[in-house]
Structure 1
Amino acid sequence: MRLLIMGPQGVGKGTQAALLSKHYNIPAISTGDIFRYNLKNHTELGEQAQAYIDKGELVPDELTNSIVKDRLAKDDTRNGWILDGYPRNAAQVAALDKMLDELGTPLDYAVALDAAQDVLLERMKKRAAEEGRSDDTPEAIAKRLETYAKETAPLLDIYRNRGKLVSVNGVGEIEAINKEIIAKLG
């Protein structure tokens, strides 16, 4: 099973990716984790990313695409994967399509989790307090949700039009949400 898990920050993508990873016995791959791994281990891709980060710039799509392609080519992904945090824009969708074609591994589904903005804000506020996350200020949260709505949410239509979108309400009991996703995936 090859899945994308999509939705705004705070909707529970990481939680559901971990549960789906266990259920299907495939790796859950977070682009944030890939970046941290490459940075920590001073890989060539990590060094390239660090140069942008040091300047306070976003890592360009081309480099992000290379890092994702490198990860999807690893041995542990032969039976599938769950990709969390990618693609984030239309250019990355095109890049992902190309890499999956080159790897001979078509996408099965894009799972979209959704929740009302007030629920997301409350969840992120709670996470910031519990985890001490300095990047979860009200201003930063609002900016990320705005960016998601503008750049990433429109991608759901691409996967809907391809017949690959599975939409699930991200509010409720974690286990119930997980069971609904699995049921919809068949």
Structure 2
Amino acid sequence: MRIVLVGPPGAGKGTQAAYLAKNLSIPHISTGDLFRANINQGTDLGKQAKAYMDAGELVPDEVTIGMAEDRLEQPDAAKGFLLDGFPRNEPQARALDAYLERKGLRLDGVLDLEVPEDEVVKRIAGRRICRNDGAHVFHLEYKRPKVDGVCDECGGELYQRADDAEDKVRTRLDVYHRETEPIIDYYKQQDLVVTISALGPVPEVTQRAMEALRRTG
């Protein structure tokens, strides 16, 4: 299957993408991984992206599109893929369609993870990370540490990332509504969108997603 995953920040796209890719035996391709791989390997596109990022500027669409197309050329993506974070806007969506059309392919579905805005803010703003080990993540409501401000695993100090502050989360949501949400309407015109609720335990959301994707197939 060839799938695009969309949803606001805090919808659990990364978590669901990992489960879905494993269940469907297709590679999970995230924008973050694309950028890291190209920068670490010193590719021309990676160097261009790094120059923009170091200057605090957005990486232009053509650079991101180039990275995505290069990744889709890899053998493991020949029989399908799950895209997470790409396309981020309508020009990128049109570029992806054009690329697939050149290959005689098309998307099978666009999975839209729906989460109320207040829940997004609660999920992200309540997150606390261990200063000693960023893999130790807690939440003020969903996964409270035994001692406030102290990591259960190693005793390190828990802190809120600057990006997770409520005002920053709302800014990220504004960007999502303005730039990314329009691709849902774009894909609805192609009858590709399936929308599911991303509320509830992770396995339940995954099951919901798998059932929705089976209907697209």
Q: TM-score range by the shorter chain?
A: over 0.9
Q: Which runs of 4+ in 1 moved over 6 A?
A: none
- Letter of the 1:4 partner, please give it: V
Q: Shift of the alpha carbon at 1:113?
A: 0.3
Larger deviation: 130-139 or 80-89?
130-139
Provide the residue aligned with 1:54 in structure 2. Answer: 54
Kindly indicate whether residue 185 of structure 2 is the aligned counterpart of residue 157 of structure 1: yes
1:135 and 2:163 are equivalent in the alignment: yes
C-alpha distance in structure 2 between counterparts of 1:56 and 1:126, whole Å: 27
Question: What letter matches 2:176 in structure 1?
Answer: Y
- SS for the counterpart of 2:8 is coil
Partners in 2 of 1:103 and 1:134 — Cα distance? Answer: 42
Rounded Cα–Cα distance in structure 1 between residues aligned with 2:127 and 2:24: 27
TM-score (norm 2): 0.81
Give distance in 2, aligned partners of 1:29 and 1:18.
10
Moved more, 5-14 or 120-129: 120-129
Matched residue, 1:144: 172
Q: Look up the SS of the partner of 1:135 in the other structure.
A: helix
Structure possessing the higher radius of gyration over alpha carbons: 2
1:65-114 per-position Cα deviation (integer Å, ceiling 9, x unaligned) = 10111111111101100000011111111111111112333110000001
Could you tell me how far 1:158 is from its partner in structure 2?
Answer: 1.5
| Cα RMSD (Å) | 1.4
Describe the shift of the 1:162–1:101 C-alpha distance in structure 2 as closer, same or farther (beyond 3 A): same
Partner of 2:99: 99
Q: Per-residue deviation at 1:159?
A: 1.4
* Structure 2 counterparts to residues 2-151 of structure 1, below 5 A: 2-129=2-129, 130=137, 133-151=161-179
Equivalenced residue count is: 186
SS of the residue corresponding to residue 50 of structure 2 reads: helix
- Higher mean Cα deviation, 61-70 or 152-161? 152-161
**Structure 1 counterpart SS, 2:194:** strand
* Residues in 2 aligned to 1:78 and 1:182: alpha-carbon distance in whole angstroms: 21
Give TM-score scaled by structure 1 length.
0.94
Equivalent position SS for 2:164: coil
Q: What stretches of structure 1 of length at least 5 have no aligned partner?
A: none
- The answer as to whether partners of 1:29 and 1:83 remain within 8 angstroms in 2 is yes
What CA distance in whole angstroms lies between the structure 2 residues aligned with 1:137 and 1:171?
21
**Greater helix share, 1 or 2?**
1
Aligned partners of 1:73, 1:10: CA distance in 2, in Å?
A: 30
**Cα offset, 1:29, TM superposition:** 0.6
Query: Is the contact between residue 73 and residue 103 of structure 1 (CA under 8 Å) also seen in structure 2?
Result: no
Q: Structure 2: give runs of 5+ residues left out of the alignment.
A: 130-136, 139-158
In the alignment, the residues of structure 1 paired with residue 74 and residue 50 of structure 2 have an alpha-carbon distance, to the nearest angstrom, of 22
Measured in 1, the distance between the counterparts of 2:76 and 2:109 equals: 19
Q: Deviations over 1:97-156 (max 9, x none)?
A: 111112333110000001111111111123354276443232321111101111111211
Instruction: Determine helix, strand or coil for the equivalent of 2:86.
Output: coil
